Amino acid sequence: MLRVLVIKDIRRWWSDRQAVIVTLLLPLMLTAVLGISFGGFGGGAPEIEAIPLALVGDPPALLREQLERALRESGLFAPVWCDSAEADRLVRKGEVRAAVLLPGDLQQLLSPERVAIGVWKDPGSVLQADIVEQILRRGLKRVQGGEAVYLAAWPADGFPATGEPDPFGDLLAGDSLAAVWRRIRDGSAEAEAARQKFEAILDHQAALIDAFDPPAVALTVVDRTGQEAKGVGPSTNMFDYILPGMGIFFLMFAAAAAAGDLHRERAGGTLRRLLVAPLGSSDLLVGKWLFAMLNGLLQLVVLFAAGRLLFRMSLGPDPLALPLAAVATSAMLASLFLPLALLTSNEKQMGSISTGVTLFMAMVGGNFINVDQMPAVLQAAGRFTPNYWANRTFNDIAVHGRGVGDILPRVAVLFGIAAVMLAVAVAIYRRRGGKAGLL
């Protein structure tokens, strides 16, 4: 019986173009907008407003000037130099999106030792702060890669090592690294050829570092709520939590629509017809729940597949973790709005309430802003929203690279919420007189 009910709803959903668009295409479209906004497609320079950035440290004047110029010329950043106290104030007030705390001696970046760089992020501007973090990571990687290439091409015991003529000898001659870089950057056609070759080797080297080496530079990322400081894995991609957050957000709407189908069936008269069929006492409710769960699962699969292809979203190291989290999340959200559907008198009423509930839960539960970066009060409140647990579970997988064993407690919470909400729906159904209450 359940199979028949679910197939019937799937057929209805599939033949309703509007429902298909809302369920599948709208999340994809929003993802695409996000992707274009942040250059996720790699098809040209991203056009975003320059991000205010505080730089803390005291490098040599030349380096300081070069760093600031490079940041400004990138068009992405509007850097200001300041001390750590001022940087803290600017981040807390939201006047800069992040502050980068450089090591006292920037030459440390080129040393084989592990170097610590701090990034303070403005929790109110999580996306821009994350851009700073991501670019910094990539920049550091290139610096490390560049140093390795440089040392390979220009050994410490002099150049050329073999005594053969060196086409780049003049370029690489000099007493300071900065002078060499300047010649390469501003030089002749030969310098340009050298630069291109150099960059190709550098990219290759950076990729090798990516593949084999542990990061030599540890970024310490701290939000400025003062509550929690945490390191973020070296491969963090902002889409790793934006996409699940958006997916869950849209899934809540889809789940509300699926539960509200009880009202549509009642208004259309088909509910009466179903109720006189020889179904089990709760088959109708369980059927709606199963359909909503499958529908949600499909939505997440499409979104994650698109996220992987378009934005290189991390699916986590454990191939079972993401499917398990997706099933648990879909099961939870599918049950979430069934009690509301039974307590409201029509689809319009249901729609208004469910939209309000969804937006509130999305804001508090971390669908728009990473929960870690929300104020303490909201973080505490977020724990009481079901979507918080789903967001956390996906964060564990995609951001922190955790496996099935690590996410099991949160998955259990999600299934627990699903069971409770389904039981509440059945209890309301029975309390309202079963079939008679649905008419």
Partner 1 sequence: MIRVSNLVKSFGDLRAVDDLSFAVGPGEIFGLLGPNGAGKTTTISVLSTLLPADAGSASVCGHDVAAEPGAVRRRIGVVPQELALYEELTAEQNLATFGQLYGLSGPRLKSRIGELLELAELAEHARRPVKGFSGGMKRRLNIMLGLVHAPEILFLDEPTVGIDAQARSRILDLIRSMNARGLTVLYTTHYLEEAEHLCDRIGVIDHGRLAALGDKEELIRQIGEHDVVRVQVPAAALAPAAAAAAAWPDVTFADLRRGKLEIHCRDGAALLPRLQAELSAGGLGLDQLEVIRPNLESLYLKITGRALRE
Q: Write out the residues near partner 1 by the rule CB under 8 A.
A: 1, 4-5, 7-8, 11-12, 15-16, 268-270, 272-279, 433, 435-436, 439
Q: Report, in Å, the least distance between residue 9 CB and partner 1.
A: 9
Q: Report, in Å, the least distance between residue 347 CB and partner 1.
A: 15
Which one, 9 or 122, has the nearer CB to partner 1? 9
Q: Report, in Å, the least distance between residue 355 CB and partner 1.
A: 23
Q: Report, in Å, the least distance between residue 299 CB and partner 1.
A: 19
CA distance 394 to 326: 8
Q: Report, in Å, the least distance between residue 266 CB and partner 1.
A: 10
Query: 373 with 206: CB under 8 angstroms?
Result: no
Which one, 189 or 276, has the nearer CB to partner 1? 276
Strand order in the sheet with 51-56: 77-82, 51-56, 98-101, 115-121, 217-223, 229-230
- Give the CA diameter of the chain: 97
Count of CB atoms situated within 10 Å of the CB of 141: 21
Which one, 88 or 283, has the nearer CB to partner 1? 283
Q: Report, in Å, the least distance between residue 265 CB and partner 1.
A: 9
Q: Report, in Å, the least distance between residue 8 CB and partner 1.
A: 5
Which one, 319 or 433, has the nearer CB to partner 1? 433
Which one, 268 or 317, has the nearer CB to partner 1? 268
Cβ contacts of residue 120 below 8 Å, gap of 6+?
A: 54, 87, 88, 91, 98, 99, 101, 222, 223, 224
Which one, 155 or 268, has the nearer CB to partner 1? 268
Which one, 1 or 420, has the nearer CB to partner 1? 1
